C-alpha cells in the first residue's frame, strides 16, 4: 500500500493512518519501536550529512517513532505542527519557557491543574515573568488583567476538577485584540470532543497520559499549533535542552492507543452521562457536575464547543449529615466500598477511578467498563448508607 492522501479522510481514519509508515527495511506492518539512544553511520561523511540535513543522530533531538506520533497528533487537532514531551507537565513547562521572555506577563486561569499552578507560581515568578490568576469564566476579569506586557493567555477547559467550560472562541477574540498567544490545555476534552485550534486557539496542550494514550501505561505530553510557534519550541527547543523528551517506547504505546481514540472517547462520554444522570437521581447526592447535563451552568457552551459530549469526569458532592456523618466521612466510606472503581488519581484509561478532592468533592474518572456495571457498583457502594 502506498501512503494514502488523508486530506479528505474522517477523524477516525486519520487516527489510524496519519504518521503511519510500513517499515522500509523488513516490511513490518506494525510500526517498529526505534528504542535507541543514538544512531550509527558507516562513515564520518554520512554522519556529517545527517547533521546538515537534520537527520536522526540522537533520540533526545529526534527519533522516527516520536516523529510519527507528532504527525498523528498534528492531524488529530488539525494543526500544522506538534512537539511531544515526556509528560503533560513537560508540555506545559516547555511551551511557556520557550515562548515567554523576561519581563513578560501571563494571564492564567485560577482553575489550572494544581501542578501547572505551582509551576507558574514557583518558577516563572523567579524568572521575572509575572503571572496573574483570574477567573476565565468572567471575560471582564480577564480583560481587566491584560497589560501591555501580557504575552500569553492560558486556561484549561473543562477545568480540572471543577468542570467549568471556558468559551474558547470568546477568549480567542480577546486574545487577538490584545496580540496575545492563546494557549488551551485541552486534556479533559480531547478530540473528537473539542478542537480548540478550529475555535481560534493558537496552541493546544495535552497530557497524552490521559485519553490520548488511553491505557494508563505511559506518560506523555503534546503541544500543537502553527509551524511558527512549534519551531520556536523545537529549536532552540526545550524538550531537547531541558531533557523533557518523550521515550520512543511511550511514543509507540501512544500511537497504538490513538488508533482507538474516537471510539474510546465516545464511550467514556456516553457512560459518564449515564452515571451523571444516575447520580442526579440519587437521594444521598447534593449536587452533580457534568458539562453535558442540562443542570450544568455551562451546558450551552458544552453543546456548542464540545459536540455535546461532557468528557469522562463526573464530580459530585454527597449530602451533609447522611446517618449523622460529615461529608468527608461519607466520602471515604463510599470510596472504600466501591469494587469496580480503583481509588486512584488520573483519568482517561480503561479502568474507572475514584478520588476525594480537597473540598470534599468526589471525582469519578469513568472508564471503559459497561456503564450498567459501573452504575451497579455505585449502587452497591451507596447501600452502605441504608
Ligand atoms: C489538565 C492537565 N494538564 C496537565 C496535566 C499533567 O499531565 P502529566 O501527568 O502527563 O504530566 C494534568 C494531569 O493530571 C492535567 O489534568
Quote the pLDDT of residue 237. Answer: 58
Residues 296 and 266 in one domain: yes
- Assigned domain for 211 exists: yes
- Assigned domain for 251 exists: yes
pLDDT-based confidence at residue 4 (cuts at 50, 70, 90): confident
Q: List all residues whose CB is within 6 A of at least one atom of ligand 1.
A: 87-89, 92, 113, 156, 160, 185, 187-188, 207, 209, 219, 221
pLDDT-based confidence at residue 50 (cuts at 50, 70, 90): very high
Residues 71 and 211 in one domain: yes
Residues 293 and 160 in one domain: no
- Assigned domain for 3 exists: no
Residues 166 and 242 in one domain: yes
The answer to whether the beta carbons of residues 206 and 232 sit under 8 Å apart is: no
- Assigned domain for 159 exists: yes
Rounded to the nearest angstrom, the distance between the alpha carbon of 316 and the centre of ligand 1 is 21
Nearest CA to ligand 1 atom 4: 88
Quote the pLDDT of residue 219. Answer: 98
Per-residue burial over 227-252, b if 16 or more Cβ lie within 10 Å, else e, is eebbebbbeebbbbebebbbbbebbb
Q: What is the pLDDT of residues 166-210, one digit of tens each?
A: 999 999 999 999 999 999 999 999 999 999 999 999 999 999 999
Residues 171 and 308 in one domain: no
pLDDT-based confidence at residue 308 (cuts at 50, 70, 90): confident
Quote the pLDDT of residue 275. Answer: 98
- Assigned domain for 6 exists: no
Residue 238 has pLDDT above 70, yes or no: no
The CATH number given to whatever domain includes residue 280 is: 3.90.1150.10
Q: Averaged over 105-109, what is the pLDDT? A: 98
- Given 258, 274, 295, the domain boundary residue is 258
Residues 248 and 317 in one domain: no
Quote the pLDDT of residue 182. Answer: 98
Residue 311 has pLDDT above 90, yes or no: yes
Per DSSP, the residues of 312-376 read SEEEEEEPTTGGG--HHHHHHHHHHH-SSSEE-S--SSSS-EEEE-TTS-EEEE--SS-HHHHHH
Quote the pLDDT of residue 162. Answer: 78
Rounded to the nearest angstrom, the distance between the alpha carbon of 185 and the centre of ligand 1 is 9
Strand 362-365 relative to strand 285-289, pairing:
unpaired
Rounded to the nearest angstrom, the distance between the alpha carbon of 176 and the centre of ligand 1 is 27
Q: Measured between alpha carbons, how far is 257 from 50 in angstroms, rounded to an integer?
A: 31
Say how many domains are in the chain: 2
Nearest CA to ligand 1 atom 7: 88
Q: What is the pLDDT of residues 82-95, one digit of tens each?
A: 999 999 999 999 99
Residues 6+ apart with CB under 8 A from 15: 72, 75, 76, 258, 259, 261, 262
Q: What is the pLDDT of residues 257-300, one digit of tens each?
A: 999 999 999 999 999 999 999 999 999 999 999 999 999 999 99
**Which residue intervals of the chain are DSSP H helices?**
11-17, 44-52, 64-77, 88-99, 114-119, 139-145, 168-177, 227-234, 238-242, 248-258, 261-280, 299-305, 327-337, 371-382
| Ligand 1 atom having least distance to the Cα of 346 | 14
Residues 25 and 86 in one domain: yes
Residues 296 and 315 in one domain: yes
Q: Measured between alpha carbons, how far is 376 from 372 in angstroms, rounded to an integer?
A: 6
* Mean pLDDT (the chain, rounded): 95
Residue 225 has pLDDT above 80, yes or no: yes
Q: Where do we find the cell 471515604?
A: 332
Question: For residues 243 and 206, which has the higher predicted lDDT (pLDDT)?
Answer: 206
The CATH number given to whatever domain includes residue 143 is: 3.40.640.10
Residues 216 and 254 in one domain: yes
- ∠ at Cα 165 (344, 167), nearest 5°? 150
Per DSSP, the residues of 50-65 read HHHTT--SBTTT--HH
Residues 113 and 239 in one domain: yes
- Given 203, 236, 258, the domain boundary residue is 258
Residue 337 domain boundaries: 262-380
- Assigned domain for 4 exists: no
- Site to substitute for ligand 1 among 93, 110, 113, 239, most atoms within 8 A of C-beta: 113
Residues 267 and 288 in one domain: yes
- Given 258, 285, 300, the domain boundary residue is 258
Amino acid at each position: 500500500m502506498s501512503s494514502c492522501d488523508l486530506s479528505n479522510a474522517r477523524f477516525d481514519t486519520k487516527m489510524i493512518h496519519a504518521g503511519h509508515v510500513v517499515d522500509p527495511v523488513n516490511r513490518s506492518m506494525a510500526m517498529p519501536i526505534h528504542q535507541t539512544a543514538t544512531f550509527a553511520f558507516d562513515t564520518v561523511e554520512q554522519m556529517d550529512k545527517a547533521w546538515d540535513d537534520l537527520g536522526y543522530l540522537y533520540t533526545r533531538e529526534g527519533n522516527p517513532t516520536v516523529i510519527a506520533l507528532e504527525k498523528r497528533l498534528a492531524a488529530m487537532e488539525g494543526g500544522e505542527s506538534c512537539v511531544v514531551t515526556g509528560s503533560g507537565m513537560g508540555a506545559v513547562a516547555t511551551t511557556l519557557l520557550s515562548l515567554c521572555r523576561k519581563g513578560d506577563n501571563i494571564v492564567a486561569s485560577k482553575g489550572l491543574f494544581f501542578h501547572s499552578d505551582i509551576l507558574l507560581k514557583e518558577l516563572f515568578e523567579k524568572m521575572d515573568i509575572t503571572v496573574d490568576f483570574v477567573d476565565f469564566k468572567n471575560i471582564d476579569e480577564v480583560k481587566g488583567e491584560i497589560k501591555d506586557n501580557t504575552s500569553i493567555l492560558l486556561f484549561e477547559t473543562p477545568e480540572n476538577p471543577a468542570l467549568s467550560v471556558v468559551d474558547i472562541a470568546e477568549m480567542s477574540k480577546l486574545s487577538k485584540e490584545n496580540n496575545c498567544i492563546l494557549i488551551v490545555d485541552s486534556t479533559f476534552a480531547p478530540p473528537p470532543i473539542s478542537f480548540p485550534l478550529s475555535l481560534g486557539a493558537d496552541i493546544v496542550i495535552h497530557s497524552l497520559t490521559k485519553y490520548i494514550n488511553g491505557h494508563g501505561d505511559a506518560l506523555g505530553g503534546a503541544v500543537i499549533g502553527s509551524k511558527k510557534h512549534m519551531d520556536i519550541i523545537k529549536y532552540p527547543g526545550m524538550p531537547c535542552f531541558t531533557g523533557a523528551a518523550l521515550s520512543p517506547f511511550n511514543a509507540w504505546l501512544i500511537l497504538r492507543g490513538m488508533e482507538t481514540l474516537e471510539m474510546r472517547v465516545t464511550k467514556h462520554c456516553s457512560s459518564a452521562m449515564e452515571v451523571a444522570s444516575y447520580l442526579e437521581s440519587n437521594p444521598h447526592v447534593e449536587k452533580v457536575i457534568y458539562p453535558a447535563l442540562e443542570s450544568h451552568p455551562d451546558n450551552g457552551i458544552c453543546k456548542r464547543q464540545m459536540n455535546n459530549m461532557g468528557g469522562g469526569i463526573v464530580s459530585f458532592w454527597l449530602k451533609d449529615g447522611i446517618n449523622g456523618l460529615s461529608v468527608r466521612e461519607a466520602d471515604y466510606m463510599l470510596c472504600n466500598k466501591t469494587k469496580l472503581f480503583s481509588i486512584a488519581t488520573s483519568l482517561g484509561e480503561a479502568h474507572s477511578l475514584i478520588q476525594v478532592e480537597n473540598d470534599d468533592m468526589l471525582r469519578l474518572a469513568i472508564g471503559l467498563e459497561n456503564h450498567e456495571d459501573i452504575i451497579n457498583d455505585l449502587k452497591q457502594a451507596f447501600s452502605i448508607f441504608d
